[in-house]
Structure 1
Amino acid sequence: MSWSRPELGDWSSPAELTQLQRAELPRVIAQAMRSPFYAARYDGRAVPRDAEDFAGIELTTKQDLRDQYPFGMLAVDRQKLATYHESSGTAGDPTASYYTDDDWADLAERYARKWVGITPSDTFLVRTPYGLVITAHLAQAAGRLRGATIVPGDARSLATPLPRMIRVMRALDVSLTWCNPTEIMMLAAAAKAAGLRPDQDFPALRAMFTAAEPLTEVRRRRLSEIWGGIPIVEEYGSTETGTIAGQCPNGALHLWADRAIFEVFDPETGELSQSGRGQLVVTPLYREAMPLLRYNLADDVEVSDDGCSCGWLLPTVRVLGRSGTGYPVGAATVTQQRLEELVFSLPGSYEVMFWRAMAHPDVLRLEFEAPDESRDQAVKELAGLIDRELGVPHRITGLPLGTLVPREALTAQRDILKARYLFGEGEDWDKAVMYA
């Protein structure tokens, strides 16, 4: 089936946006009932049919998806599928996701809603895994939709080490990249290890797209500063849903509420609302292969209906991470988000990028890398920030560069071997068959 999907500007008020969502719900619910999971859930019960019934639909959970692995959520014939994916498995058991060609049209359009634009003149380095997760395929589809040249840089691959990516970025005049925030820092460190200046020696680079990690505003500003002030454009999504929010020119993340219905679930009360703080619940409006009704992503978010001066008539979202990410230290609870804000509040001249922390019940241990000339001052200032902002016992240690991220990771280019079976005398035949 082929649907007419809305574009930004097709509604002029929140009320029109709500009406757009409600008009799609009968079709969305009917498609969901074609899957074994939803058909079984409503077997012998009144089947919801429209927007009036939507409030009574129970949540779909990640455990539901795990229990239905691999094809219990499938609502079309398998011959219609274009791609199959699985989550990164951070919680253990995989969740399956699958998409038709029509689904992919929606996915690519949503990703391509970048305020900086993706154009045919762009060379776009995709630096996320091309494995079972959706991230690299999503960027490639959106880039091709807009006519960009794609450089499939992959990630976590022996074939594309960091030094090779730095060479590619300069040789090909890469103008856009797609990777997680940590990879943005790794690329910068690799550039420095090669004797280059990230803020000056990549003149074609005009923006870096990022996702997959909660990103505080202070860290985003620091990443931009490291790369010469270019925009760091964030988005938010999952393998199960594709892109569900994108950043506007003002830096706010807006939910694509014309392509999905979003609700906020309070796990303590069981109540759902349109805004506020809780877990994000998603109902995609243009999903053919794997419809999801009130799918609880279990991400902690804060959704607001307050207007944004960018002019996009869409709710905004702050992604706070997954439940249970805070740890008690003394009388306080310490979160990664708050520590990140403090670490990247240090002056950029201190060149602090890589850090780690461990929360013990009686003390917070935090370590970071810094050059010799700024390390002691950085320790002193970060200790003061933690005293003032968190008030917890702490032990801060400054480490030499290369301690947390070994220099070899930034400079090494391992040989990539193809499978080989015949060797000459004196050659290393222990490498037979094996390749990597």
Structure 2
Amino acid sequence: MTHTSALGASTGERPELGDWSSFEELARLQRDRLPELLDRALRSPFYAARYAAGGAPVTAGDFDAIALTGKQDLRDCYPFGLLAVDRRELATYHESSGTSGHPTASYYTDEDWIDLAERYARKWVGITPEDTFLVRTPYALVITGHLAQAAGRLRGATVVPGDARSLALPLARIVRLMVSLDVSLTWCNPTEAVMIAAAARAAGLRPDVDFPSLRAMFVAAEPMTAARKRRLSEIWGGATIVEEYGSTETGTVAGECPEGQLHLWADRAIFEVYSPETGRITPDGRGQLVVTPLYREAMPLLRYNLADDVEISYAPCPCGWVLPTVRVFGRAGFGYPVGERTVTQNQVEELVFGLPREFEVMFWRAQATPSALVLEFEAPEDIREHAARELGAAIDETLAIPHRITALPPGTLVPMDALTAERDILKARYLFGPDESWDKALMYQ
């Protein structure tokens, strides 16, 4: 079917959930789409050069022989080495966060954006015109904020561009917006959801009571344990926590079903697993996630190795979606030696958020040393020692490793000023009166 939306007219045909009833039909959808994708990819300088000597993939049968595209390839192609359309057709340009020191570029056409928004909008709780949707992720260069905004507008919601890492919108102001606007949906990472809750408490509000309009929180960017997910819902009065998984290079690649499983949107991309140890690429199992977006116009990627540690399964899910499931381990899947064991972030997180809710533990940190796990967390004074004893007992029982635990007063790990400050953001100013300080002339702060 041909789609139209508030984002503009669509010229492409993209499948929707329910357009297939078996994994065989899903594979047929992928194969049928491949020739057009391969043709488009070969228009980019990178893939044209890769296959200049011959052997270019042109049919679905050629797919398995395609070499992986890696992050270094994207860095080497910076900025437009993977551009497959005229630059006049581009709608937006983005870059990764550049944590390695070398950002990668990503760009999208209007048609790409309709595909991106449709995938993000596949939330089982729905995004509707009745919703006020607070977007609390960065807008600067990365795709996350723009992605949620596009999906919210696609479904008719009122979008509040809350940004993140912005001096203009400190946590205290975000809390005020959520109350004043009756925010019903939010989009942020799990840590930010806890930070907003702490800021609400600092303002004298109860996150589990004083935000009755909040029905769901969309979260991503951090692998999350079941214990952390439960705690987030408890903190926010039973709000549904819905996970999402993607990247600036690919957009959303997986979303959560009503049964709590992450499903790969395999009608819009081909997903594979790469084993660095063996060099084998398989459709399922554990290894690094390889993604081939099927509807990408501006920047086609063939077998792009996202390099995230995942596990893909084609086992049936009780939700009934005929889509593979994925478990995302990311950095949380890697561990450090403590004593005779290897300890992962997920293992520690399960124990911290497994503490009773009444202990009000929200912020913690840990350092794994060869001799002991050193862990600190914030807790109210009256239950601080009790919480430390319970956590220590849980570590003894579950991990059986040496440990040193310190319970700290609230405000130690996350300063109270970060939760309560309402910073003044001023426009540039040039003329001042005789009793005014001109020290901040020209400064936006």
TM-score (normalised: structure 2)? 0.96
Aligned counterpart for 1:156 among listed residues 149, 161, 165: 165
Q: 1:24 corresponds to which residue?
A: 33
In structure 2, C-alpha distance between the alignment counterparts of 1:4 and 1:302, rounded to whole Å? 30
CA contact (8 A) 2:332 2:345 kept: no
Q: 2:4 corresponds to which residue?
A: none
Q: 2:59 corresponds to which residue?
A: 50
In structure 1, C-alpha distance between the alignment counterparts of 2:29 and 2:383, rounded to whole Å? 55
Q: 1:335 corresponds to which residue?
A: 344
SS of 1:203's partner is coil
Q: 1:77 corresponds to which residue?
A: 86
Q: 1:374 corresponds to which residue?
A: 383
Aligned counterpart for 1:238 among listed residues 233, 236, 247: 247
Alignment of 1:206-285 (within 5 A): 206-285=215-294
For residues 264-311 of structure 1, give each alpha carbon's deviation from its aligned partner in whole angstroms, at most 9, with x where no partner exists: 111100111111111100000000000000001110011111111111
- Read off the aligned partner of 2:170 and give its amino acid letter: P
The unaligned stretches of length 5 or more in structure 2 are 1-9
TM superposition outliers: structure 1 runs of 4+ over 4 Å: none
- Read off the aligned partner of 2:351 and give its amino acid letter: L
Q: 2:22 corresponds to which residue?
A: 13
Aligned counterpart for 1:312 among listed residues 316, 321, 327: 321
CA contact (8 A) 2:223 2:332 kept: no
For residues 180-218 of structure 1, give each alpha carbon's deviation from its aligned partner in whole angstroms, at most 9, with x where no partner exists: 000100111011111111111011111111101111111
Alignment of 1:368-407 (within 5 A): 368-407=377-416
Aligned length: 436
Structure 1 residue 324: Cα displacement: 7.8
SS of 2:401's partner is coil
Q: 2:360 corresponds to which residue?
A: 351
CA contact (8 A) 1:166 1:190 kept: yes
Structure 1 residue 45: Cα displacement: 2.4
In structure 2, C-alpha distance between the alignment counterparts of 1:232 and 1:434, rounded to whole Å? 39
Structure 1 residue 433: Cα displacement: 1.1
- Read off the aligned partner of 2:70 and give its amino acid letter: T
CA root-mean-square deviation: 1.1
CA contact (8 A) 1:248 1:254 kept: yes
Alignment of 1:113-262 (within 5 A): 113-262=122-271
Give percent identity, aligned residues only. 73
Alignment of 1:100-119 (within 5 A): 100-119=109-128
For residues 126-184 of structure 1, give each alpha carbon's deviation from its aligned partner in whole angstroms, at most 9, with x where no partner exists: 11111000000000000000000011111111111111111111111111011000010
Structure 1 residue 388: Cα displacement: 2.1
SS of 1:45's partner is coil
Structure 1 residue 49: Cα displacement: 1.1
In structure 1, C-alpha distance between the alignment counterparts of 2:241 and 2:376, rounded to whole Å? 26
Q: 2:13 corresponds to which residue?
A: 4
SS of 1:198's partner is coil
CA contact (8 A) 1:31 1:291 kept: yes
In structure 1, C-alpha distance between the alignment counterparts of 2:30 and 2:340, rounded to whole Å? 45
CA contact (8 A) 2:332 2:344 kept: no
SS of 2:12's partner is coil
SS of 1:430's partner is coil
- Read off the aligned partner of 1:379 and give its amino acid letter: A
Aligned counterpart for 1:90 among listed residues 74, 85, 99: 99
CA contact (8 A) 1:257 1:315 kept: yes
- Read off the aligned partner of 1:423 and give its amino acid letter: F
Aligned counterpart for 2:307 among listed residues 298, 301, 306: 298
In structure 1, C-alpha distance between the alignment counterparts of 2:332 and 2:76, rounded to whole Å? 21
- Read off the aligned partner of 2:424 and give its amino acid letter: D
- Read off the aligned partner of 1:432 and give its amino acid letter: A
In structure 2, C-alpha distance between the alignment counterparts of 1:79 and 1:12, rounded to whole Å? 39
SS of 1:384's partner is helix
In structure 1, C-alpha distance between the alignment counterparts of 2:291 and 2:143, rounded to whole Å? 17
In structure 1, C-alpha distance between the alignment counterparts of 2:171 and 2:39, rounded to whole Å? 47
Structure 1 residue 316: Cα displacement: 0.5
In structure 2, C-alpha distance between the alignment counterparts of 1:292 and 1:114, rounded to whole Å? 25
In structure 1, C-alpha distance between the alignment counterparts of 2:77 and 2:153, rounded to whole Å? 33
- Read off the aligned partner of 1:17 and give its amino acid letter: L
For residues 15-59 of structure 1, give each alpha carbon's deviation from its aligned partner in whole angstroms, at most 9, with x where no partner exists: 000010011111111111111111111110211112211111111
Structure 1 residue 331: Cα displacement: 1.7
Structure 1 residue 323: Cα displacement: 8.5
The unaligned stretches of length 5 or more in structure 1 are none
In structure 1, C-alpha distance between the alignment counterparts of 2:54 and 2:346, rounded to whole Å? 44
SS of 1:385's partner is helix
Structure 1 residue 328: Cα displacement: 1.6
For residues 337-358 of structure 1, give each alpha carbon's deviation from its aligned partner in whole angstroms, at most 9, with x where no partner exists: 1111111111111111111111
Structure 1 residue 256: Cα displacement: 0.2
SS of 1:164's partner is helix
In structure 1, C-alpha distance between the alignment counterparts of 2:64 and 2:78, rounded to whole Å? 27
CA contact (8 A) 1:263 1:274 kept: yes
In structure 1, C-alpha distance between the alignment counterparts of 2:88 and 2:101, rounded to whole Å? 29
CA contact (8 A) 1:299 1:323 kept: no
CA contact (8 A) 1:300 1:323 kept: no
In structure 2, C-alpha distance between the alignment counterparts of 1:145 and 1:99, rounded to whole Å? 17
TM-score (normalised: structure 1)? 0.98
